[in-house]
Chain A
Amino acid sequence: GAGVSQSPRYKVAKRGQDVALRCDPISGHVSLFWYQQALGQGPEFLTYFQNEAQLDKSGLPSDRFFAERPEGSVSTLKIQRTQQEDSAVYLCASSGYRGVEQFFGPGTRLTVL
């Protein structure tokens, strides 16, 4: 595709449910990033992959958050036992080189009731 795509665009979960958010990066981009953006805030870094290797997961807020990119392309962010404070927009970005000009997807808006 022409850009980064994410699915679903919107997700409503009941507290305690597990959710999986998908990111399809731009073809050929080796770097992939996940961010969390709360209302009125800037994106906050969660984790970074270079190909299939997760090189930095320092931003993941708890061990309920898990990300993978098994074949170095599509990535999935999984949140287990969702809490209300997990409600946010989750953005995925890809880049041809770490940190330079990141291309963002439209985000997945997660609402935990």
Chain B
Amino acid sequence: SQKIEQNSEALNIQEGKTATLTCNYTNYSPAYLQWYRQDPGRGPVFLLLIRENEKEKRKERLKVTFDTTLKQSLFHITASQPADSATYLCAPLYSTLTFGKGTMLLVSP
């Protein structure tokens, strides 16, 4: 079965810096990969989707890359703000959407 690995340690950064979160997967590449944000007590919220044949996708301050050779996706938030503090979930699509455990991001003022 597929394993999705995300940084288990929380990522602490200062406001204004770029946050980079990592998602690694095993075995074969998914057709596409999604990133979600989850705040405490709430359901995940969709952020970005990147397809297997795309290298990079951007949306405002967010950027996602997809490297099928490394079997890795990177999620970047530029000019981070305290409001970006949340858990970020990587979710590649295999037969179903398969979520990683998520990485908690803490942005301090």
Contacts and interface: CB of A to CB of B under 8 A. Distances in A.
Contacts of B41: 106
B101 interface: yes
Contacts of A58: 95-96
User: Which among B93, B97, B99, B100 has the highest number of chain A CB atoms within 10 Å?
Assistant: B97
Nearest to B89: A42
A47 to B, nearest CB: 9
A103 B45 CA distance: 7
Interface residues of A, number: 24
A93 interface: yes
Given A100-B49, A101-B46, A56 B101 contact: no
A56 B95 contact: yes
B95 A44 contact: no
Interface of A: 4, 33, 35, 40-45, 48, 56, 58-59, 91, 93, 99-107
Given A33-B97, A93-B43, 19 more contacts: A4-B43, A40-B101, A42-B4, A42-B89, A42-B91, A42-B102, A43-B89, A43-B99, A45-B96, A56-B95, A91-B43, A99-B93, A99-B97, A100-B49, A103-B46, A104-B44, A106-B41, A106-B42, A106-B43
